Amino acid sequence: MVRFGVAVVLALTASDAVAQFADARLRLDGFGPVRIGMTEAQARAAIDDLAIGTDREVDPGCYFLSSPRDRSVSFMVERGTVVRTDIDDPHHWTLSGVHIGSTEREAHDAYGSRLRVAPHKYDPTGHYLIFEALDRKSALVLETDGKRVTSMRAGVKPAVEYVERCG
């Protein structure tokens, strides 16, 4: 079971959520007003139009929420708790300025020696560039084709490490 510290959840109006979602950066602890460790209900209160994807029919214990305003951002929910954020669009950035389309060199420059490189499971030239939190309980994973970032996700382990989305 994943345990989280005490979280302070800010109540946002719908217009606040739209603004934060549009200008948000991917962080180890979430994206925009949605934080890792929130319940599904808290995430839906933070972004009022989050919808459950088709993953829920496959596994009710693990599924994704996304907003029709921006389907390139999705939130993995396991056992009712947000555990991961996935980004699939170059218009969203990490706090350190990396985005889809950034080069591997740019990612290394942004994250320095704490960025670990692992081989990609499906792309023989690709990599996973992994930046772990100091407590090693959460991470940022940048997937590459060997040259550029193709997708990115952040969240708690082991969910952030799942290659197949839900583990």
Domains for the chain: give ranges and CATH numbers.
14-161 (2.60.460)
Listed residue (103, 99, 112, 116) closest to 146, CA to CA: 103
One-letter amino acid for residue 31 of the chain: F
Entry field: residues in the chain: 167
DSSP state of 14: H
Alpha-carbon distance 127 to 104, whole Å?
9
One-letter amino acid for residue 93 of the chain: W
**Residue 23 pLDDT:** 72
**Residue 70 pLDDT:** 84
Residue 43 has pLDDT above 80, yes or no: yes
Two tokens, residue 98: 């990396």
Two tokens, residue 28: 């180890």
For the chain, give the mean pLDDT: 86
Whole-model pTM? 0.85
Q: How confident is the model at residue 56 (pLDDT cuts 50, 70, 90)?
A: low
Residue 41 has pLDDT above 90, yes or no: yes
Listed residue (21, 35, 112) closest to 73, CA to CA: 21
Q: What is the pLDDT of residues 119-151, one digit of tens each?
A: 999 999 999 999 999 999 999 999 999 999 999
